[in-house]
Amino acid sequence: MKKLEKVIIPVAGLGTRMLPATKAIPKEMLPILNKPIIQYIVEEAIFAGFKEVILVTHSSKYSIENHFDKSFELEATLEKRVKRATLKEIRNISKLSISIQSIRQGEAKGLGHAILCAKTLIGKEPFAIVLPDMLISKKNGNAGDSLKEMRLCFEKHEISSVLLGKAKKADISKYGIAQIKNDSQLPGLGLIEKIIEKPSINKAPSNLYAAGRYVFTNDFFKYLSKVKPDKFNEIQLTDAIDNYIKDGKKVNAFSLKGDLFDCGDNAEYILANLEYAMKHPVIKNKIKNYLKTK
């Protein structure tokens, strides 16, 4: 059995769709209720059974690393003010059962390039990728159920996988869209035959989009390093996956369980906040009352 313990979380993008909010604050640090998005993502990785997070980061994003560090001054103040519950919550963030390392992507040359930057920290091991702006919410169970399923399947079969959700027609041209064929040997939806980055609706092979969770064998790096930059001079992860499949490597598709919010988009970021607020016993009622007045 091959262990899968490392997960790459790329946080080096510029977050231009959320400007000006993201001029000085990383989009991964924007809050959903009272927690930054990145904390939900790291908690998802812990739930899924990962042991090591590798953040691919940028000089402007030091607050993400700070968030997971111990804050002596804050803890001392909370202790003096006898704010026990808050103190416990703050202490838990720096005592997570996962190690967090980071490496820089000097220039935002695309998601594929960001993943390549983590190669030395991954070494010879397989790895997962979780995109920090794609937040999953589940009514029953944990947001990390899908990622856990992918990890366990890899440890059993040693086959790469991608999590797929169903896109609305209007959203198809925003994501990597996959074509799959059934495979009764493996859990999940089947094997991916091809995947295209941001196709027009006419060229999209289905409505199944990559939902920001991936698992790869180590040799995937070889395909990433050969991808040519696109017209915006960015290295696309989707192109490397397609080449990997064309070369005869298997990529299994899993079906997203729950709802996904692209928090890099203004409207979806607000919806994600509403989704989580509606799970909160007190805030839920405030929102319901507010909406009644509109």
Which lies closer to ligand UTP via its Cβ, residue 58 or residue 151? 58
Alpha-carbon span 166 to 211, nearest angstrom: 9
Q: Shortest gap between Cβ of 239 and ligand UTP (angstroms)?
A: 14
Q: Give the one residue of 10, 144, 165, 188 binding ligand UTP; rule: CB under 6 A.
A: 10
Subset of 68-87 contacting ligand UTP (CB under 6 A): none
Q: Which stretch binds ligand UTP (CB under 6 A): 11-19, 42-50, 180-188, 248-256?
A: 11-19
56 lies in the binding site for ligand UTP (CB under 6 A):
yes
- CA 63 to each of CA 24, 26, 35, 140, 144: distance values in angstroms, whole numbers, following the listed order: 10, 8, 14, 32, 24
Q: Give the one residue of 36, 132, 190, 258 binding ligand UTP; rule: CB under 6 A.
A: 132
φ/ψ of 224, rounded to 5, equals -60, -40
25 lies in the binding site for ligand UTP (CB under 6 A):
no
**Cis peptide bond prior to 20, omega within 30° of 0:** yes
Which lies closer to ligand UTP via its Cβ, residue 14 or residue 96? 14
Handedness of CA 35, 39, 45, 51 (dihedral sign): negative
Q: Angle CA(270)–CA(272)–CA(274) in degrees, nearest 5?
A: 70
Q: Give the one residue of 41, 129, 131, 167 binding ligand UTP; rule: CB under 6 A.
A: 131
Q: Give the one residue of 96, 108, 271, 277 binding ligand UTP; rule: CB under 6 A.
A: 108
Subset of 157-196 contacting ligand UTP (CB under 6 A): none
Asked whether 65 and 57 are in contact (CB, 8 A), the reply is yes
Cα 278 to chain center, whole Å?
22
Q: Which residue is nearest to ligand UTP (CB)?
A: 13
Alpha-carbon span 64 to 27, nearest angstrom: 10
Q: Which stretch binds ligand UTP (CB under 6 A): 125-133, 139-147, 183-191, 196-204?
A: 125-133
Which lies closer to ligand UTP via its Cβ, residue 153 or residue 260? 260
| Biggest CA-to-CA distance, the chain | 62
Asked whether 197 and 239 are in contact (CB, 8 A), the reply is yes
Which lies closer to ligand UTP via its Cβ, residue 109 or residue 148? 109
Query: How many Cβ atoms from other residues are within 10 Å of residue 262's Cβ?
Result: 20
Q: Which stretch binds ligand UTP (CB under 6 A): 67-75, 128-136, 201-209, 276-284?
A: 128-136
- Residues near ligand UTP (CB under 6 A): 10-17, 56, 105, 108-111, 113-114, 131-133, 264
